[in-house]
Structure 1
Amino acid sequence: MSVELLKGNVALAEAAIRAGVEAYFGYPITPQTELLEHMAKRMPELGRVFVQAESEVAAINMVYGAASTGVRTMTSSSSPGISLMQEGFSYIAGSEVPCVIVDIMRGGPGLGNIQPSQSDYFQVTRSAGHGDYHPIVLAPASVQEAIDLMTLAFDLADEYRHLVFVVADGLIGQMMEPATLPPMQPIRTEKADWALTGAEGREKRIITSLELTAPELEAVNLRLQDKLQTIRETEQRWTELWTDDARLIVVSYGSAGRIAETAVRRAREEGLKVGLLRPITLWPFPEDRLSALADQIDAFLVVEMNAGQMWEDVRLAAGGQVPVMFAGRMGGMVPMPEEIYEAIQQLVEKLPECPR
């Protein structure tokens, strides 16, 4: 494997191809269109399925159909396009078929702009559609991590027969960084025992999210909640720096997490006892680790490119044990390391028990 200079969107697309995706359905929208363009070239070259659908609504329903046949399938979009796919996400979750969705977030609400943002956090973590469920949500902070998490996304989707989102802001989609792609995996030839492959010689299989009686639908929901609880207990992922002696911990993900690391590193160099926790799974949220850290620190500082959406999850994890402060930018504005460093300084000054 060699190191290449790769744009984030292209890296995500090629990583999905090397993870064995057999069918891609999508619709162009900035800032993720290069992902679709790469799929348009590469998938036919490999004898795989690529369809540019007439809309995001059509694309997600094509994903639903292909996923029901047991093939690895995916789509990608950006914030307004993800909004249009909500109904399809819910059908997929209710039918328990695996698929992967990439969301390269842009500024909102509404059409907003094409600048990088993290304002889809509520949209993807709170359910991504109607009903009682959460998708698994992975949030890379670099092009290399985007590649690695794309492979993981397909494995988790298959393991749990569930939706998995890979969520990045437009910075990661558009930036170019040195990265290493994994080797090409062979396309799976053996289909799962739930897949729709034609009923000749076996009992028919039915994939549906329609349950007309309340007891039957409750049974489906109970099974789904059991699965979600297993995911919540076993799939929390994060990375952390300088937390052993920290009295203040910055919590941030994606591009904001990288920027926050620069600010925290400067604070450490100046003797401030500050650490960083960067969630990799936005759902399941790394609540267990944050709750444990709340026992040893004086405060959390949450940094996001939105109005404070993950802030709510950090406050829930902290359980009222310590203050949870917020610093963020909105509308496609990107916080600079100096801004975050100043927020750290101001917070430390308000917490005299936080040693310098």
Structure 2
Amino acid sequence: MARELLEGNLAMAEAAVRAGVEAYFGYPITPQTEVLEWMSKRMPELGRTFLQAESEVAAVNMVYGAACTGARVMSSSSSPGVSLMMEGLSYIAGTEIPAVLIDVVRGGPGLGNIAPSQGDYNQIVHGGGHGDYHPIVLAPASVQEAIDLVALSFDLAEKYRCITIVMADGSIGQMMEPAELPEMRPVRKERAEWAVTGAVGREPRILSSIYINPDDEEVANHRLLDRWYQILENEVRYKEYYLDDAEIVIVGFGTAGRISLSAVRAARAEGIKVGLLRPISLSPFPFQPIEEIATRAQSVLVVEMNTGQMLDDVRLAVKGRIPIEFYGRPGGTVPFPDEILNEIRRMAHEPLSAEGDARLRWRQRVKKSQK
């Protein structure tokens, strides 16, 4: 199919339609409202279910109920709205049913603003809702990648009977780029053997997240953990750029990773040996590739549109072998390539020891720049 100029939100919505989503439940919130608007048009056109719920709490529980029937279902929201969904997401995880969520991240905390951010990392990647569970979290850095990851998310959710979240910062949702949409897949007629579809002529199926007996809850938690180990083994995704001889390695996801790539190319033109690892799966996180990089690089620079949330995971991977620096723009501010390039230049000419706190060094530089 030919490439066309597409807005990120509309592209993700249409990608879900073409992946065979059967029901969408959501509530408007900037900067993801275009997903809901597109679904309100396309789903009825195709004889599928669309419902604008009265709140995000209602929307996620509608997703929960529809997912129990084995249908392909999804919702979308942005940061404060996703916070309201957390109880429902935990129920979905505990019931072991597949569901897809698109989170187009905005500035926060609180109501924040409608500008692009990556401040949802902790609430999305590290569970959010109560209990022991891990969602799959995918972070696109372009409109095309957002399309591809939305389509993939339904397959992963069904393969592992889990929640899959596409976490796109607001830049990805609002930007327009040439991209190619996939072919339309047929809506599946068959239902999984666990789905609640009526019990005429067979034993009833019961789906629940309630395990009153702690021993039963423990068994269920171990079952979720075993499935997570399969995900860890099979579903780590990332991209590498210029890492063969890199002495400085940047780790950044989504828009921060994309902007970092521009800075890397500019630094390379100046003769600085720098590369980029861009995580695509934030959960499962690419710990092993980053650990391997730490055995041959001299330092790492973590770039995020927050105050350092992925930084903690990078630290776990590096294990103190080499210095880690941090550069962040929180609250809805997007960094420019020159900002990151200046950090690369500083690190190339002022190498630091592995001791010390990356956030503290970053805060000291921020204070100095504000004087």
Deviation at 1:351, TM superposition (A): 2.3
Q: Does 1:109 align with 2:109?
A: yes
Residue of structure 2 equivalent to 1:41 = 41
Alpha-carbon distance between aligned partners in 1 of 2:241 and 2:83, rounded to the nearest angstrom: 34
Q: Does 1:91 align with 2:91?
A: yes
Gap change, CA 1:221 and 1:299, over 3 Å in 2: same
Residue of structure 1 equivalent to 2:280 = 280
Deviation at 1:128, TM superposition (A): 2.4
Residue of structure 2 equivalent to 1:131 = 131
Structure 2, unaligned runs of 5 or more: 354-371
Alpha-carbon distance between aligned partners in 1 of 2:335 and 2:165, rounded to the nearest angstrom: 24
Residue of structure 2 equivalent to 1:213 = 213
SS across alignment from 2:308: coil
Residue of structure 1 equivalent to 2:267 = 267
8 Å Cα contact 1:63-1:74 kept in structure 2 = yes
Alpha-carbon distance between aligned partners in 2 of 1:2 and 1:264, rounded to the nearest angstrom: 31
Residue of structure 1 equivalent to 2:361 = none
The one-letter code sitting in structure 2 at the alignment partner of 1:63 is V
Residue of structure 2 equivalent to 1:233 = 233
Residue of structure 2 equivalent to 1:255 = 255
Please provide the CA RMSD for this pair.
0.9
8 Å Cα contact 2:125-2:137 kept in structure 1 = yes
* Deviation readout 1:240-283 (Å, 9 max, x if unpaired): 10001001100001011110000000111111110000000000
The one-letter code sitting in structure 1 at the alignment partner of 2:320 is G
8 Å Cα contact 1:128-1:135 kept in structure 2 = no
SS across alignment from 1:69: coil
The one-letter code sitting in structure 2 at the alignment partner of 1:265 is R
Deviation at 1:203, TM superposition (A): 1.0
Alpha-carbon distance between aligned partners in 1 of 2:2 and 2:332, rounded to the nearest angstrom: 34
The one-letter code sitting in structure 1 at the alignment partner of 2:270 is E
Deviation at 1:134, TM superposition (A): 1.2
Deviation at 1:223, TM superposition (A): 0.6
Alpha-carbon distance between aligned partners in 1 of 2:76 and 2:54, rounded to the nearest angstrom: 14
Q: TM-score when scaled to structure 2?
A: 0.94
The one-letter code sitting in structure 2 at the alignment partner of 1:274 is V
Alpha-carbon distance between aligned partners in 1 of 2:133 and 2:341, rounded to the nearest angstrom: 37
SS across alignment from 1:85: helix
8 Å Cα contact 2:20-2:72 kept in structure 1 = yes
Deviation at 1:141, TM superposition (A): 0.3
Alpha-carbon distance between aligned partners in 2 of 1:173 and 1:95, rounded to the nearest angstrom: 30
SS across alignment from 2:50: strand
Sequence identity of aligned pairs in percent?
62
Alpha-carbon distance between aligned partners in 2 of 1:52 and 1:352, rounded to the nearest angstrom: 53
SS across alignment from 2:148: helix
Residue of structure 1 equivalent to 2:28 = 28
Residue of structure 2 equivalent to 1:334 = 334
8 Å Cα contact 1:128-1:134 kept in structure 2 = no
Residue of structure 2 equivalent to 1:82 = 82
SS across alignment from 1:92: helix
SS across alignment from 1:102: strand
Residue of structure 1 equivalent to 2:360 = none
Structure 1, unaligned runs of 5 or more: none
Paired positions, count: 353
The one-letter code sitting in structure 2 at the alignment partner of 1:83 is S
The one-letter code sitting in structure 1 at the alignment partner of 2:346 is Q
Q: TM-score when scaled to structure 1?
A: 0.98
Residue of structure 1 equivalent to 2:185 = 185
Alpha-carbon distance between aligned partners in 1 of 2:115 and 2:328, rounded to the nearest angstrom: 15
Deviation at 1:352, TM superposition (A): 8.7
